[in-house]
Structure 1
């Protein structure tokens, strides 16, 4: 499964808190943690400072409380926890699946399972509430999606369309058709 991982597992940018203006970049690869720093200062002693780069293995990073502290200050505690988990090998492979594959899998799930999957992460929540997923669900649950149905679904949203009962849909389709006839 790890062979499916990209070389760069995480990348982020941040600025140190005031009064410092230093700019940082962090990159977590399959093998190491890379921190880059650019000193931003008007003081003459830092004027010619070149950007710094610091690399260490995942295990060395896990033992390095100074670098962990610096990441927590610049990027926040949630980023630090995420980086620590990556370095420990705790990788969420579901989160890393391509969106089309997650959409394909999700259309076979029960509604309760989609609701639970949407609570796993922001990325999965976005996919579980996407128009693409609900369009696929509607298409797989209906014998036929007519052009009028498709037009209404696009107007009100595929998820809303799915949860609207048949009587309400028929009423909305009639009103929409009547409105289109009156505008011509």
Structure 2
């Protein structure tokens, strides 16, 4: 596992090349224990990343991780046609709605403008920038598993922002994922696990 103060796109891609197990971005804040799926995936010979929100957002981690999964599990072509989209939705969900605590945009141009403004404010907040994102992948029996975990407030955060909003705004993207793979949501939405069955070599 590569440890670094900061990763860029090239160094992220490099630490996901076989036989490396991934990377952990260091900071001056007390470390947070990785989640159980992350640790289990490493124990199964898989790989993963623990990154700050700022790094994951700037480096297009979903794209980099998707390419690594395809390279390392080359038998996926017939089993996981929605893989890249599922990973993108998981990561976007965790970063934007989880760590950055920005709700889904309301309908119309005004709603989109408000969304962009809230996203810019969140990205300028050092506390939210520093929250961690975990993403990991491994084979478990004949299945491929991918887990994404954030440090946001879970589904309850939207009630604090706007009590009239639906209590589970993050479900929109997760519903898309559930069409492509088995989806398990844990920790009040902070952790999502997707499983593509029958993806053994």
TM normalised by structure 2 equals 0.25
Q: Give the greater-gyration-radius structure (CA).
A: 1
TM normalised by structure 1 equals 0.27
